[in-house]
Amino acid sequence: MSSTTQNYIDLYAAHRNRMMEVAPQALNARRDEAMDNFSRMGLPTQSAEQYRYIDADRAFSGTYRLSLPTSRLMAEDAPVAVNNSQLLDKYYATCADADDPIVALNTAFATECLCVHVGKDINTGKPLEINDVLNGDTSLMEHKRILIVLDEGASLTMLMHYVSTDRQQFLTTQVVEVFVADGARLDIYEIEETHTACTRFSNIYFHIGSHATVRHNNIVLWGGITRNTLAATLCGEQSEVTLNGCVMADKRQQVDINTLIRHEVPRCTSHELYKFVVDEQATGAFAGKVYVAPDAQQTESDEVNQNICISPDAHMYAQPMLEIYADDVKCSHGSTVGRLDESALFYLRQRGIPLQQARQLLIQAFISQVVDYIPLEPLRQRLHAMVADRLSGELDQCVGCGLCQPRVQADGCNSSKP
């Protein structure tokens, strides 16, 4: 067992009683078992196939103070509650993969669960926004838990925005469990805009009923070490799931996206589109697996992963996978790693556009394809603007949360990981 894993086991022993006091019963009930699981598995190293592109053991090795997250609800009429015991009893820790070490760690340390619940045939209309703000005056560690439940025919659009307001080192794990009942529709957008000293491991699990539509958009603008695990299980016929995302990484950022779409029943459709732009010394990794169970006939699935490496030190790893046990299926995947089109650059420069700007334009066009899929007009526009800002270097810190301090020195964010 690694010393880092041991540190977390010790940390648990030290804080167990305090967590048991503040957390609801449903969370406490799973705590010890999860810790046992975690001690058995330990933090994954790169020899674990699922974590081959990111050294989780190293990512978790910094010294952090354990902080218990507290949520504040800003809107009265929003379908959100903290620790809704009815939901927790029924759904908590039933969908997340208990054999994932990060999920086990999170389940052991979670003390609060944000519950989003949309009742039968209700359309919430206004999008729901969850802002996850990291701030503190010392290095902090937080373990967040979210539960999203959509009853039959319900409809919800939600935005999850991860920002940091301090230049401290933050370590976050987040586990989101999503239950989408028959005929429901969920659009969910995740935007990460933290900073280079942040380490964020996020796992999101979807359990999807029949005739349902789920669209997930994952936009990583800024971060230090980001690992997003997405797993969608199609459990009812004629459902559709879309997992889209774009990643912009530079400096020494590491972004690792790992997705799994499980077609358990016939006649479902899945789409996946992921784009990475990797610059400077950054590393991008994408592993996307589509699993088609025996008898899940008439499955349609397409997966596209396109990546651009800008600088000589940028690395990109891609691993699009198909695992198919049924014959009447149409499945495809495509993956490319390349550079900006020289002739397009030349064309732009010929017309008097400086090289830097020409490159920005091309990258923006490349990324835009993902953003263009977002049906929500204001959000789409806001994201286009954010992407443009990010590329022009203006978006060194988060915008939009209103808490930001002025830009700090650029080198301040380079040398922040131990």
Residues that bind other proteins (CB under 8 A): 49, 294-295, 297, 307, 309-312, 314-339
Amino acid, single-letter form, for residue 42: G
User: Nearest distance from residue 124's CB to other proteins, in Å?
Assistant: 38
Nearest to other proteins of 44, 209 (CB atom): 44
Nearest to other proteins of 322, 344 (CB atom): 322
Rounded-to-integer distance, Cα 46 and Cα 401, Å: 35
Nearest to other proteins of 325, 347 (CB atom): 325
User: Mind spelling out the 3-state secondary structure of the chain?
Assistant: CCHHHHHHHHHHHHHHHHHHHHCCHHHHHHHHHHHHHHHHHCCCCCCCHHHCCCCHHHHCCCCCEECCCCCCCCCCCCCEEECCHHHHHHHCCCCCCCCCHHHHHHHHHCCCCEEEEECCCCECCCCEEEEEEECCCCCEEEEEEEEEEECCCCEEEEEEEEEECCCCCEEEEEEEEEEECCCCEEEEEEEEECCCCEEEEEEEEEEECCCCEEEEEEEEEECCEEEEEEEEEECCCCCEEEEEEEEEECCCCEEEEEEEEEECCCCCEEEEEEEEEECCCCEEEEEEEEEECCCCCCEEEEEEEEEEECCCCCEEEEEEEEEECCCCEEEEEEEEEECCCHHHHHHHHHCCCCHHHHHHHHHHHHHHHHHHCCCCHHHHHHHHHHHHHHHHCCCCCCCCCCCCCCCCCHHHHCCCCC
User: Nearest distance from residue 176's CB to other proteins, in Å?
Assistant: 27
Nearest to other proteins of 39, 335 (CB atom): 335
Main-chain phi, psi angles of 340, to 5 degrees: -70, 145
User: Nearest distance from residue 303's CB to other proteins, in Å?
Assistant: 9
User: Nearest distance from residue 15's CB to other proteins, in Å?
Assistant: 37
Nearest to other proteins of 7, 297 (CB atom): 297
Nearest to other proteins of 68, 345 (CB atom): 345
User: Nearest distance from residue 230's CB to other proteins, in Å?
Assistant: 18
User: Nearest distance from residue 5's CB to other proteins, in Å?
Assistant: 23
Residues with Cβ within 8 Å of residue 330, at least 6 apart in sequence:
299, 300, 301
User: Nearest distance from residue 294's CB to other proteins, in Å?
Assistant: 7
Nearest to other proteins of 180, 316 (CB atom): 316
User: Nearest distance from residue 339's CB to other proteins, in Å?
Assistant: 6
User: Nearest distance from residue 415's CB to other proteins, in Å?
Assistant: 23
Nearest to other proteins of 210, 306 (CB atom): 306
Nearest to other proteins of 8, 291 (CB atom): 291
Dig out the tokens for 268 from the structure.
Answer: 């479902």
User: Nearest distance from residue 329's CB to other proteins, in Å?
Assistant: 6
Rounded-to-integer distance, Cα 333 and Cα 194, Å: 31
Nearest to other proteins of 258, 397 (CB atom): 258
